[in-house]
Structure formats: C-alpha cells, structure tokens
Structure 1
C-alpha cells in the first residue's frame, strides 16, 4: 500500500501548537470530522477552531516558505488555488455555524515566544473576533 509523504495530521507544526496550548491549560479535540474542513484543533467550550497551515501548501502571503516549484507551474498553480479556495469555504462555513476560526502558520510555530503569546491571547479572548489571516 502506497501512502502519501505529505502528512495531513500530527505534523510537526501541529504538535508544537498542541504542546503550547496544553501548557497554557487549553483543552481541545482533534480533527473533528463533523465540522467543515475537519479543523486541526477544536476548542468547543470556546467555540474556537484552529487550523495549522503549512506555508507552502496554503500559500502564506509574503512568506519565504511559500515558494513555487519551477517545474509544472500550471499544475502547482491550480493545486494552490484549489487549496486556498477550500480554506476560504471551510472558514466561511465554520463562521456561519458560530465558530471563531484562526489560522496558525507553519512559520509562526518556529518562534516559540510569539506563538505562546498569540495562543495565550486567543485563549483569553473568549468573545473577540481575531484576524485569521496574516
């Protein structure tokens, strides 16, 4: 059986976010398939969904990790556009269901202090709507 080398769950950035959240006292569920887009981290008591996006696959704007391969450019452009469209649809659907949606980018997980501060702020803001795209 062949399996993809690109993991969809339990990625290194996702594990960093989960460890940091747990250290802050945050409790969560993982990959709720009954929600649009199956968010990586779901905090039902806070009505908060977190997506941990890879900068390359989800095209983090102005990020050096969001490079575009030089071969098969049409294929990659189509792939990236489909990923971004799916992300927008999922975010819109979740918001319509009353959830707060946040995106944690892969590059953000490499800066422990900033990630800690951002997650601490998210946990403290139970009713404020934060910006999900940076």
Structure 2
C-alpha cells in the first residue's frame, strides 16, 4: 500500500498544499469536455457511484462512459505533462503504477458489464475541434 501525501515524511509543506488542492472531480479538463458535450447537444450524468471507478461522464441509455484523465496522474504515454518528480522516486513510481493498475481494472470491469469506455487525456482538451470529433465518433 502506498503512503498518502499527507502521511508521507519529509514532504515540503508548499508541495503538500499544492497536491491537496487537486480534486478528483470538476477539474478544468473535465469541465471543458462537459461544456463541449453540452454544446453538441448531449445530456449526461456525472460520477455515477454505482459504476466501477465512478466515471466522470455517463450516458446510461447508450451504456457509454467517459473518463477525463490528467496526464500527470494517469501517466499519458509520450505526453510532455507526464513528467516524474525528481524527489522520492520510489513513492511516485508506486503511486503511478497503482493508478494505472486501477484504471485498467476499472475499464475491464466496465467492459465486462457491457459498457464502452473513452479516455480523454488532459492535453487533448486544448484542441476543441479534435475533441468534438472524438466525442461525436464515440457517441454515434
């Protein structure tokens, strides 16, 4: 089991405060995706507690879910935002590995229940035209 940031020894108070401010929902990338979907005329539910992983955006009649992943926390391959901290490498590597394992397990569970999943990465929310196209294709 990994140590939480609050319990970790030798953490700089400023960094700890910064990390504490990052919440699990209503992030800026998630809001961009939600606003784009709304502008396209789609209606959806948020953070369905009854589904594995509490997906960010849920389309129940279509049995489709969208996860909006931060490139840093979920380790977007090849992304410049997917950097690793220089200090406490073992802690961060374990944290990132656990996040990736959980993401894979959640997707497998949803697929087993008959749901389709789409991952939107934080860096993909800056190109709205490309984002719209991905969302339209997924929701057809």
TM-score, normalised with respect to structure 2: 0.85
| C-alpha distance in 1 between matches for 2:65 and 2:24 | 16
State the distance in 1 between where 2:65 and 2:133 align.
17
Q: CA deviation at 1:4?
A: 2.6
Q: Which runs of 4+ in 1 moved over 3 A?
A: none
Cα deviation per residue 1:61-101 (whole Å; 9 max; x = unaligned)?
Answer: 00001000110010000000000000001000000000001
Normalising by structure 1, we get a TM-score of 0.89
Q: How many residues align?
A: 123
Structure 2 partner of 1:69: 85
The secondary structure found in structure 2 opposite 1:46 is coil
Query: Aligned partners of 2:61, 2:37: CA distance in 1, in Å?
Result: 14
Instruction: Find the aligned partners of 1:39 and 1:18 in 2 and give their Cα distance.
Output: 13
What is residue 24 of structure 1 aligned with on the other side?
40
Match of 1:103 among 119, 134, 137: 119
Q: What are the equivalent positions in structure 2 for 1:48-67 lying under 5 Å apart?
A: 48-67=64-83
Aligned to 2:52: 36
**Equivalent position SS for 2:77:** coil
In structure 2, distance between residues paired with 1:32 and 1:123: 18
Distance 1:96 1:120 in 2: 24
Unpaired segments of 5 or more residues in structure 1? 125-134
Instruction: Return the index of the structure with the highest Cα Rg.
Output: 2
Give the Cα separation in 2 of the matches to 1:85 and 1:115: 26
